[in-house]
Amino acid sequence: MYQFIHHQQDLQIVYHLMDQGTIYGLDTEFIKVDTFWPKLGVFQINVNGKVYLLDGTTLDLTEFWNRIFAAQQNVFHACSEDIDLIYHYSQHKTLENVFDTQVGMSFLGHGLQVSYQNALKTMLDVDIEKDQTRSDWLARPLTPEQLMYAANDVEYIMQLSEKVKIELSEKRLLDYVLEDCCSLTYEIGQEKPISMLYQDMGNYRNSRKQLMQLQQLAVWREQMVKALNQPRSFILKNSTMQDLVEKNPRNTFQLSTMKDIRTNIVREHGKTILDLLKFLPEQAEWPLRMARPIRHSSREITDRVEQTIQNIADEIAVPKEVLMRKKWLSSLYQHVVFHNDEQDLPQYLLGWRYDMLTKPLIDVLHSDESYLSKQMKVME
């Protein structure tokens, strides 16, 4: 049913099959508990109907990554973490040849996050066990239960993919889904510039001085997590950083009373943290205050926005929540108020949605610009 490969020479069998047929069903099992980057345990591949489990702890997979990027199509279910892992190990972005069955099923009305187990039951009437989710995938030897679990994750993926593609094609939605899969893998590969990371923990209540402190802390933390390969929360949680700039500790004792700060961090990096809070550049270099988040447009415009989205959803028979997410709508508010470049909008809004939805929504929101602007104002 499957073959576990942990010797380098045995990979040639897999490569030979990959070269014969270039559509692969893929999944990964990894650990990311105490590290910044994932540690690969097993990479599963269904190629030409054969299932191989590749040992991520022993194999050099350089050629494997090259073949994945050169494939006609890579099929996943809920691919975000798998793609993130591939980008890390291959040191290459962006994978554009992906079909994600979860994305496909969302267009068919099965919700945004249908599980693989439920997808197989719904589409193929197949039952699989999902009892090894929290296994230690770096332990060796892997148990028969772990190996069976890993194999099941790709055993039926090609059948599922074919069924979903047929239904999407019948509804003329397959091209939209493939484009959304490209937008997803593009988004996963985007890294926010290190100098802008403070925006993830700052808010409109913070003063410019506090935002400058957050910026310095965020840059230092990012350098630390990458150097030490530790999760961000192991160095400083976002909530701890907010506590630091609000309370502005002046010494190590005060620092040790901050929310959720680790004792070892105070001991090893306390002076650095205090210096980052104290020594700031000239005020002219401090970030500007952050705008308040826009909760909604005016009532009349909200109704028009909702109706526009609903009309398109009905017209192309796509669930409304698939057509427009809250965070995309929020980016449209920002776009209208700040007169930003359209190329800065989320990738999802620039593709097939642009003419039928994005452009009409921008036109509607322009008539609400003053209302939206008022919501965002921050009093100095």
Q: What is the pLDDT of residue 380?
A: 53
Supply angle C-alpha 42, 48, 51, rounded to 5. 30
Q: What is the pLDDT of residue 378?
A: 63
Helix axes 157-170 and 174-188, enclosed angle (nearest 10): 130
- Residue the block writes with tokens 């190629």: 47
Q: How does pLDDT run across 270-317, given as a tens digit for each residue?
A: 999 999 999 999 999 999 999 888 878 899 999 999 999 999 999 999
Q: How far apart (Å, rounded) are the C-alpha atoms in residues 285 and 189? A: 29
Dihedral, CA of residue 10, residue 13, residue 19 and residue 24, to nearest 10: -80
Q: Are 276 and 213 in contact (CB under 8 A)?
A: yes
DSSP 131: -
Q: Between the CA of residue 86 and those of 10, 35, 306, what are the distances in Å? A: 21, 16, 38
User: What confidence category does residue 379 fall into, taking pLDDT thresholds of 50, 70 and 90?
Assistant: low
* Distance from chain centroid for Cα 233: 18
Q: How does pLDDT run across 67-104, given as a tens digit for each residue?
A: 999 999 999 999 999 999 999 999 999 899 999 999 99
Q: How far apart (Å, rounded) are the C-alpha atoms in residues 245 and 273? A: 11
Q: Are 85 and 151 in contact (CB under 8 A)?
A: no
For 73, the 3-state DSSP assignment is strand
Which range has the worst mean pLDDT, 86-90, 125-129, 165-169, 227-231?
Answer: 125-129
Domains and CATH numbers, the chain: 2-188 (3.30.420.10), 194-285 (1.10.150.80), 299-376 (1.10.150)
